């Protein structure tokens, strides 16, 4: 249904309607109050922040504060800023043709003031949607004062035949043109210090200075800045006086548990309809993927200052499905289930999302990625099967004995990445005790998921050094650990 407000076309009609304009901070505050009273979620698609970040943002908005979101990469800082548009009124009136979204009741630009002086209540207005009131700028070292605040435009001066002393020759930058809206600067430390200084008066008093013009514009803007707590790129930092002028500094963080992290991945990952229809995923596979990110954040080889973005698991999830899809296509099969071997396809998502410390660089990104997958398997294994280390301490019967003895007898398998479903099933079923162990601890698991658990069991035993796992060109070789060690000692390998 079209709002009757949108039918209003002149300042006179707007006055007759009784419309009352609000400053942006009041507008955000009033709409937040309505949401809180109705117990509506502020950011429906943001996970992990219900008890931490979101209450801080709500308090900042209620306090009419500008906001600095401080956190490592991939913590939804920009997404939060973009979703703040939902707290603005759907439409607001502006003077038609105004480059600064002038309020018809309180114009600040010379052009709009002149229009009202000449035409009075007949001045035309138009309605600006909230999505058009959001401006975002990525801070880079080449951003200038002219970009953000403005500069004298000689072409405008020539066309209008005006001297440079006339205010109308100014071309306003992004910030003045964001009047009555939300203005976001991403990666604030990357902005040169002298440019940051130019923001001081805008934040505090609303003054702007352009080429010597003594100009006071009472700009009405909700500022949101984003930054990393430690600038791992060494390109700069936030100057202290600017940080002091930003009233609320809010710390973001990564999800604190696998379940929440998984919700984010499933929500953000982009899969084709065919992938969703033809490829089966399992809770264990999804937990394992999230565990990789948790391991990376704790790894001695990964730089903690750079963080490990949630994009690792999002792109990893997409690659996981694409690995299964590729295998399905190669084998001319109609359906596929995720396998542990498909995690080989997740490695490119890991290597591109982590910054290594010196020791990690010595190891190499591929080795570090493989180790992270291995650690994830080891940690998740203990949640699904008895921990082999605890079994030793308690001197309990080893439920994996039959599997280990089969490999001890000299048997080995090559688990290749692109095996057909028939070959994959036959290979896993050929290992005595493997299926029985899965049935014993997970009796409800059936079909392709059971095969996933069987493969997971093999990998878990290898991570606990009960089997040997060696890389092949197109997959992995599983064999007895001790015979492998003896052969190495004898020079056999």
pLDDT of 483 reads 62
Partners of 337 in beta bridges: 280
Q: What is the per-residue DSSP string for 370-409?
A: HHHHHHHHHHHHHHHS--HHHHHHHT---TTHHHHHHHHT
CA 235 to chain centre: 22
Partners of 414 in beta bridges: 477
Give the integer Cα–Cα distance in Å for 309 and 293: 8
Reported as type and span, the H/E element at residue 196 is helix 193-197
Query: Radius of gyration of the chain from Cα atoms?
Result: 30
- Residue 270 CA: distances (Å) to CA of 265, 275, 320, 324: 9, 10, 12, 15
Residue 215 scores a pLDDT above 90? no
Q: What is the pLDDT of residues 125-164, one digit of tens each?
A: 999 999 999 999 999 888 988 899 888 777 776 777 777 6
Residue 485 scores a pLDDT above 60? no
Mean pLDDT of 280-293: 97
Contact 279, 324 (CB under 8 A): yes
Look-up of token digits 């570090």: 368
More confident residue, 436 or 235: 436
Looking only at the bridges linking them, the beta strands covering 413-416 and 134-138 are unpaired
Report residue 222's pLDDT band, with 50, 70 and 90 as the boundaries: very high
More confident residue, 209 or 146: 146
Number of separate helices (H) and strands (E) present in the chain:
23, 16
SS3 assignment, position 185: strand
pLDDT of 231 reads 55
Residue 327 scores a pLDDT above 90? yes
Contact 127, 119 (CB under 8 A): no
Nearest to 225 by CA among 60, 91, 40, 45: 60
Q: What is the pLDDT of residues 67-119, one digit of tens each?
A: 999 999 899 999 999 999 999 999 999 999 888 899 999 998 888 998 999 99
pLDDT of 84 reads 96
Reported as type and span, the H/E element at residue 226 is strand 221-227
SS3 assignment, position 254: coil
Residue 233 scores a pLDDT above 50? no
Quick one: tokens of 386? Answer: 């008895």
The one-character DSSP state at 136 is E
Report residue 486's pLDDT band, with 50, 70 and 90 as the boundaries: very low
Provide the percentage of residues in the chain whose pLDDT is more than 70: 93
Residue 13 scores a pLDDT above 70? yes
Report residue 171's pLDDT band, with 50, 70 and 90 as the boundaries: confident
pLDDT of 236 reads 67
Residue 361 scores a pLDDT above 90? no
pLDDT of 297 reads 95
Report residue 489's pLDDT band, with 50, 70 and 90 as the boundaries: very low
More confident residue, 165 or 294: 294
What does residue 185 show for φ and ψ, rounded to 5 degrees?
-115, 115
What does residue 280 show for φ and ψ, rounded to 5 degrees?
-95, 130
Give the integer Cα–Cα distance in Å for 192 and 145: 10
Q: What is the pLDDT of residues 260-282, one digit of tens each?
A: 999 999 999 999 999 999 999 99
∠ at Cα 221 (56, 71), nearest 5°?
A: 35
Mean pLDDT of 284-292: 97
Could you list the beta-strand ranges (E) of 75-180: 91-95, 125-129, 134-138, 150-152, 170-172
Reported as type and span, the H/E element at residue 146 is helix 145-148
Nearest to 91 by CA among 41, 46, 27: 27
pTM of structure: 0.86
Contact 268, 48 (CB under 8 A): no
Contact 347, 366 (CB under 8 A): yes
pLDDT of 459 reads 97
Q: What's the chain's average pLDDT?
A: 90
pLDDT of 207 reads 65
Give the integer Cα–Cα distance in Å for 264 and 241: 36
Provide the percentage of residues in the chain whose pLDDT is more than 90: 71
The one-character DSSP state at 104 is S
Partners of 113 in beta bridges: none
pLDDT of 37 reads 97
């Amino acid at each position: 249904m079209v709002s009757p407000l949108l039918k209003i076309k002149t300042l006179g009609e707007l006055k007759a309607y009784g419309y009352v304009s609000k400053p942006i901070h009041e507008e955000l505050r009033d709409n937040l109050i309505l949401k809180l009273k109705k117990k509506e979620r502020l950011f429906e698609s943001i996970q992990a922040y219900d008890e931490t970040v979101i209450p801080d943002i709500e308090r900042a908005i209620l306090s009419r504060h500008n906001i600095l979101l401080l956190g490592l990469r991939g913590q939804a800082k920009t997404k939060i800023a973009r979703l703040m548009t939902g707290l603005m009124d759907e439409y607001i009136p502006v003077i038609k043709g105004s480059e600064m979204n002038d309020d018809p009741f309180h114009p600040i630009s010379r052009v709009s003031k002149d229009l009202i002086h000449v035409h009075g209540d007949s001045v035309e207005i138009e309605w600006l949607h909230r999505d058009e009131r959001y401006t975002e700028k990525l801070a880079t070292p080449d951003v200038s004062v002219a970009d953000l605040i403005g500069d004298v435009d000689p072409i405008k001066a020539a066309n209008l035949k005006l001297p440079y002393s006339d205010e109308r020759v100014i071309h306003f930058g992004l910030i003045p043109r964001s009047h009555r809206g939300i203005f976001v600067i991403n990666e604030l430390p990357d902005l040169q210090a002298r440019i940051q200084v130019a923001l001081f008066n805008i934040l505090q008093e609303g003054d702007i200075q352009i080429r010597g013009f003594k100009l006071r514009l009472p700009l009405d803007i909700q500022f949101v800045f984003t930054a990393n707590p430690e600038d791992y790129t060494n390109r700069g930092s936030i100057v202290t006086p600017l940080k002091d002028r930003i009233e609320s500094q809010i710390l973001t963080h990564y999800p604190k548990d696998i379940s929440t992290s998984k919700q984010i991945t499933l929500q953000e990952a982009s899969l084709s309809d065919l992938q969703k229809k033809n490829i089966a995923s399992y809770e264990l596979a999804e937990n394992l993927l999230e565990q990789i990110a948790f391991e990376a954040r704790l790894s001695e080889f990964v730089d903690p200052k750079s963080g490990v973005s949630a994009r690792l698991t999002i792109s990893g999830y997409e690659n996981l499905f694409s690995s299964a899809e590729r295998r399905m296509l190669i084998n001319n099969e109609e359906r596929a289930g995720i396998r542990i071997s498909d995690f080989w396809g997740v490695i490119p998502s890991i290597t591109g999302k982590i910054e290594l410390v010196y020791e990690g660089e010595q190891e190499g990104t591929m080795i570090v990625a493989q180790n992270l997958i291995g650690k994830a398997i080891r940690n998740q294994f203990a949640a699904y099967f008895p921990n082999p280390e605890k079994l030793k301490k308690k001197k309990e019967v080893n439920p994996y004995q039959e599997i280990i003895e089969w490999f001890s007898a000299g048997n080995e398998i090559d688990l290749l990445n692109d095996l057909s479903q028939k070959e994959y099933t036959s290979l896993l079923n050929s290992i005595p005790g493997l299926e029985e162990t899965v049935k014993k601890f997970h009796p409800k698991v059936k079909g392709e998921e059971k095969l996933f658990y069987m493969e997971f069991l093999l990998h878990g035993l290898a991570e606990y050094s009960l089997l040997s796992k060696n890389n092949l060109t197109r997959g992995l070789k599983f064999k007895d650990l001790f015979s492998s060690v003896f052969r190495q000692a004898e020079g056999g390998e």
